[in-house]
A and B are shown apart, each in its own frame.
Chain A
Amino acid sequence: MENEDKLMTEVTLNQARELIQHLEDGNVEKAREAIDGLSQIREASLFVEVGKLTRQLHEALTNFQLDSKLMGIAAQEIPDAKERLNYVIQTTENAANTTMDLVEKSIPISAKIKVDAEELSLDWERLYRRELGPGEFRELAGRIENFLKNVSSESTELNGILNDVMVAQNYQDLTGQVIRKVITLVHDVEENLVELIKMFGNTDEYEEAQKEEVKTSGVEGPVIDETRDDVLTSQDDVDDLLSSLGF
């Protein structure tokens, strides 16, 4: 920019000197040409200025776009994301409870079938050993008939419960969609933050921070990063570590 300005001044000065020279010489024709040349220079520098202004305007507009996007993220999308994640907690909790309700409902049914079958097979063995009197046999036959009827209706009930257990897993579809939206938001926030860093901060520091290895201490819940070597990934590894400690 500075060089451009300097050059422009020099050219203008030269042209002005020429104009004076022509006027002193009384050469009107040449003097007119020099005046034209000077006005061309004025136009050219005007263009440069307009160019500068345009660039500034463009930058201001880009910054403004970023600002308004961040505004939207902070004012709308993040509160919305919190609500979405709470929905995920609620929905998964409901599904877990529904599933456990159904399992708890089915356990006594299958336990009863097991007890009845065990009792009947004991008496059935007595029959094979010819230990049953005629009255006892009639009673056993009645119990077997009842058992068969019950098993039929109870397994129908169990089938129904298992179907409900299956349907209760549909939360996965809903929570999956919600979480995917939140991931998109996190991605947008990241992009905007990087833009901000580029505009106002230090890009080198950012790149350095990217390479840094994060060390966490204390509780942190399930660790998802499989590349971390301070975390054990299976019960077997935990058992091995404990046994190396004398457990």
Chain B
Amino acid sequence: MKILIVDDFSTMRRIVKNLLKDLGFNNTQEADDGQTALPMLQQGDFDFLVTDWNMPGMQGIDLLKNVRADPGLKDLPVLMVTAEAKREQIVEAAQAGVNGYIVKPFTAGTLKEKIEKIFERIEGN
């Protein structure tokens, strides 16, 4: 399981990386915005994307839309971890095809629960 973590704050990437490691996901890579992340996703064989929303360069929501529009990436599971918590934003992310949405600040338990739920669904399909 190869996971890409996208956040402009290195401390947040590090937290997510450590929590994923604790859940047994050791193969992670990092990017600091959508612009850097998209070519990495297109070139690498990632199985999962964890992304922030508010970033300089390409924002998380646009990264998600780009992923869904790319034939090679359209089925990639995407988990959004963000401080953006407006109703309209969550609806927008849902409509863009996000697989899970976590608002910051979050707990290790929430991350675990959402990741498990996403994989349960994928395996169920």
Residues of A within 8 A of B (CB): 93, 96-97, 100, 103-104, 217, 219-223, 230-235, 238, 241-242, 245, 247
Contact = CB atoms under 8 A, between A and B. Distances in A.
Interface stretch (B27-35, B42-50, B65-73, B81-89): B81-89
Contacts of B87: 230-232, 241
A117 B54 CA distance: 45
B14 A100 contact: yes
A238 B11 contact: no
Nearest to B54: A219
Interface in B52-67: 53-54, 59
Given A222-B104, A232-B85, A235-B102, A100 B15 contact: yes
Nearest to B82: A219
Nearest to A99: B11
Contacts, number: 59
Contacts of A217: 88
B90 interface: yes
B103 A235 contact: yes
Given A223-B85, A232-B87, 17 more contacts: A96-B11, A97-B14, A219-B53, A219-B84, A219-B89, A222-B83, A230-B86, A230-B87, A232-B103, A233-B85, A235-B102, A235-B103, A235-B110, A238-B102, A238-B103, A241-B87, A247-B94
A220 B94 contact: no
Contacts of B84: 219-221
Q: Which 3 A-B pairs have the closest CB atoms?
A: A96-B11, A219-B54, A222-B83
Contact of A241 (B18, B53, B91): B91
Contacts of A247: 94
B18 A245 contact: no
B106 interface: yes
A107 to B, nearest CB: 8
